[in-house]
Amino acid sequence: MISDNQKSCGGYVYSDIFCYLCIIMESDHIIKYNHVEIERAQRVVLRDVTFTVDKGEFCYLTGKVGSGKSSLLKSMYADVRIEEGEARVLDFDLRDLRRRDIPQLRRRIGIVFQDFQLLQGRSVTENLDFVLRATGWTQRDEREDRIEQVLAEVDMLGKSYKMPHELSGGEQQRVVIARAILNKPRLILADEPTGNLDPHTGYHIVRLLHRLASEGHAILMATHNLQLVEEFPARVMRCADKQLIP
């Protein structure tokens, strides 16, 4: 007979506290994909994708151009729909995600693009302030404090007044990373963040991303630069032949 503080699962009996501990362990999965199929323009890009990414984990996503890396990343912030399988990101069920909830999901993910996508007519500070105001930060002093914090993290505090065109590629990418961590996301998606940078600058950007992972952010970085993967070892998943190979 099962008591009030016990539960049955698969023929086994568990106490409430054991079930609670299981929930805690399950919550460590920042990303959980199970037998997911990803399509774009009615063409299968990746099939039977199964993997998890946990808190504080750094993962590389490698593969040739067109192998599905960007499509997989875009599916995580609901820019590409998932039609089959189980897909959860930050406690959001991507299969059942309502359109009105997509902005909420994206506010909880830091996204680093290859081509920066900074507002060219605004200074570094104004770029970051724009994001904070758009995501509900109403107090000016709180926004100023947060901008100062993130710029210090990426070593750009002394260039907060500059316009994007006055910065080098590496400096712009540091601002993009600062923008990505403004709202303290548990997950950062980086799509070829070193693609437009020279090797030396790319090295420092990847080192910065690894440091953010050590501080508790889950990082998934798409790259074709295998030299960086060798210099900064971490888990590698490869897209090839419409599959994700762990």
Question: Which amino acid would we find at residue 128?
Answer: L
Tens of pLDDT, residue by residue over 146-167, are 999 999 999 999 999 999 999 9
Say what the pTM is: 0.85
For residue 152, give the H/E element and its range: helix 140-153
CATH architecture of the domain with range 26-108+185-246:
3-Layer(aba) Sandwich (3.40)
Under-70 pLDDT residues of the chain: 1-27
The DSSP result for 97-142, as a single string, is --GGGHHHHHHTEEEE-TT----TTS-HHHHHHHHHHHTT---HHH
Give me the residue spans of the domains in the chain. Answer: 26-108+185-246, 119-169+178-183
Check residue 14 and give its pLDDT.
Answer: 43
Each residue of 64-89: pLDDT tens digit? 998 999 999 999 999 998 989 999 99
